[in-house]
Structure 1
């Protein structure tokens, strides 16, 4: 467990003069320094000594606050995730009377957030380290994905559940929306694919249309073939990402 920052690097006996030096970093600043190193070199390639050197802090101070490298890593990662996540209030502020327009606005915010430099760094780091520390992925879901899913499910109950807001598949629809609209770009970006802004916008609009008309069973006949093709592409993209992840997992298991 983190030890609250006292703002003092070393305790000094009464009456003794303290050596001049850098002021102690706050916990937030220490975690930021640590995260930069973890992002650059990974968990295995980052040492407590390197973190202390980057932070200008005594090793015993870091150990007193976080105990070991894994605890420090998880604290730094959680702080970064909390700062990066889109608050539900931000998503709620995008709502309009038109559900499709609302979903395009929400999808744009979520996809742009995933494809931001901070989003991509976190995505790659969590993907790499989740193999040996699965609790990292679980915490990411708890902090970010679950609140978004709950919000989307309520939104679908409101718009698709009628007067009684009775939409039994609301939670499944929320998960499908994230998988289709956000998951595709996230998976491809994690493997190095770059997207032009026009490509991102086109993906979001097509995916929202596919999702919405598929859920409400009102897809116009002239769009059925195009929407089916898009769904097939999305499924193939997800399957490819899963296959690559399995390859990485097997390589990690084979390492001495």
Structure 2
């Protein structure tokens, strides 16, 4: 049963006609279809479910369906491919793009596999697209592009391979810290850099060079021994807004 607002999913208002439901479904299902460039499988399934739900809901509404034949509720296993093909009279609108035998994402039980995707702090700083080889159930491999946006937090799921063949596992990519990154310590969007100094340097005015992830070097004066210095906006991009940056926190360690 569709557990979200089907009117909202199709951009309609209560009391809409069957013609309006079908028109909205046609536009949105083609827009979000997973075999269309930029398509969204989750939104596609949501649109299909909303379409079926509204047809069932308005079947006995005389004001909405007078004079129009309404599809009967389907009681067998939900299959978005069947709904899509039935609506388009079994004509695949994506055939001219080379999709001659597509599967439209039936809702079946699948096993989710989480794969760690190791990223350096420099990759997190700039954002990166990694080409990853994934093993499929049939023993074959598939190469996919996994896009990690600038500022992505560790532990974030950044890409999911949706089921293409029945019984094939979904694969989630989890952004993981590169343990070999030893220059900086990450704390949210802030970076902590530890600078080693001897006592003589601490007792006199001096300058230190602080590295950054964009290959610049910041020169800051050290006049008194302090536990740390904060350099604003020299950390990582913020995940919620990559145009904003965290701070660089310079800590001092006596040697």
TM-score, with length taken from structure 1: 0.23
Q: Specify which structure has the higher proportion of helix.
A: 1
Q: Which protein is bigger by CA-based radius of gyration?
A: 2
Specify which structure has the higher proportion of strand: 2
